[in-house]
Amino acid sequence: MRTAPTILHLDMDAFFASVEQASKPSLRGKAVVVGGLGPRGVVATCSYEARVFGVHSAMPMGQARRLAPHAAYLVPRFELYRSISEQVMRLLRELSPLVEPLSLDEAFVDLEAGRTAWDAASARLAGTKLRADIRAVTGLTGSVGLAASKMLAKIASEEAKPDGLLLIPPGTERAMLEPMTVRTLPGVGPATGDHLRRAGITTVGEIAEAGEDELVRLLGKAHGHALYAMALARDERPVVAERETKSVSVEDTYDVDIHDRVRVGVEVGRLADRCVRRLRASGLSGRTIVLKVRRYDFSTLTRSETLRGPTDDPAVVREAAARLLDSVDTTGGVRLLGVGVSGLADYTQEDLFAQAAGERPEEPAEEPDTVPVEQHSPSPAERRWPAGHDVRHAELGHGWVQGSGLGRVTVRFETPYSEVGRVRTFPVDDPDLVPADPLPLVAPEVRRPGGEPDRRPGGGAGADGAARRVAG
């Protein structure tokens, strides 16, 4: 392990919810829950204000609503989250060529590889500057952990939350870990935690005291050895800039169980096409087709078939997925379907049964968000108005959807740079109301009449100014 705390772990604070609060002045300081809003939706993330009520990620949305009935419940805006994540990752890559993203809002950075830090003082300066740069560029906060290993850096960032920085000086790691709960260590979930608790082991220090042989007896050879090493603060894993993609998959959860076998087959075909589009977008192909089916009773079945060679042919994947579906009983109803491809490669091999005609089938077209009617764009009445998504009104400017139903849509007119805006309700087919792209979270630089930059929030005019007039 290193002798200096030059591994940095960044974890953005309640990322999706923080983005929504930053873009919506009326939600700042309030409980916000982001996720699927249907009967079977789950919480993707929630603000710290919502966590006070017991809401947490991966919780069923129905349970979250019972715990925090007055919170704002919003549909995710993944394109916006990705664009902000790219801004953050660019800042990380300015620190070092070795950046290991774990998700949109989390990454490791090897500061030593970038010659950004070589001791505790320089590491702390780098972490402090990073947090300031993230706030300046995105308007958001992130928590930073600095340590001599990846495991400890991640633990440090968790301890620093929210909006903090924690550096673990080399030589103090074991003393810091000893009083912590066993669940602090990576790989210790509820089942392992309960198993250790029944054996009288509840803290990291007690894991070290139990000894390696006892842990192997309790948990098995691989898990026991690994857990003992972590309890002693041993972690030699390097920061890896590029992670190899092991599989590509897509899945859908349905609000109402699907009982019609024909409909199930159609859904599997659509998922196969979506999976192929992701494969091609990544320049990959794969040999093993995987079908996932979660039935009405929550039992989950997976079936797989390995082809003669890698393929990115939609017809091949569809046919393989259909054959796998034939072996699954769906008579009781299906609540989730998924199609994946593994055994990835960066080349394809012609498949005999799919390429017999000697021609490559056309790539399936992107599925539209709404079903076209007579090949024309959907009328305003057919538009969906997801809660939290951006809209623009011809007279009132930029706003976001607070809710919709019964032929009406309620919009709050405000921007990231305005005061709290007023709420107006319109018919869903109002021609003056259209979906809009999200605005940047940080106000763009606007020139004053004298030529000097005006960085004040809301320094611009136009539609956003109209929104501010409504807010007044």
111-139 residues labelled b (16+ CB within 10 A) or e (exposed): bbbbebbeebebbbebbeebbebbeebbb
* Residues 417 and 464 sit within 8 Å (Cβ to Cβ): yes
CA dist 163 and 161 (Å) reads 5
Q: What are phi and psi of 413, to 5 degrees?
A: -95, 100
SS3 state at 249:
strand
The DSSP H or E segment spanning 303 is strand 300-311
The total of other beta-carbon atoms located within 10 Å of residue 57's CB is 16
The catalytic residue positions are 106
**Which segments within 259-299 are labelled E, that is strand?**
285-295
* Residues 338 and 291 sit within 8 Å (Cβ to Cβ): yes
The verdict on whether omega for the bond into residue 368 sits within 30 degrees of 0, i.e. cis, is no
Task: Indicate the length of the chain as a whole number.
Answer: 472
Structure tokens at 40: 């079977």
Q: What is the dihedral of CA 388, 394, 395, 400, to 10 degrees?
A: 0
| Closest alpha carbon to 239 in 113, 98, 423, 33 | 98
* Residues 50 and 31 sit within 8 Å (Cβ to Cβ): yes
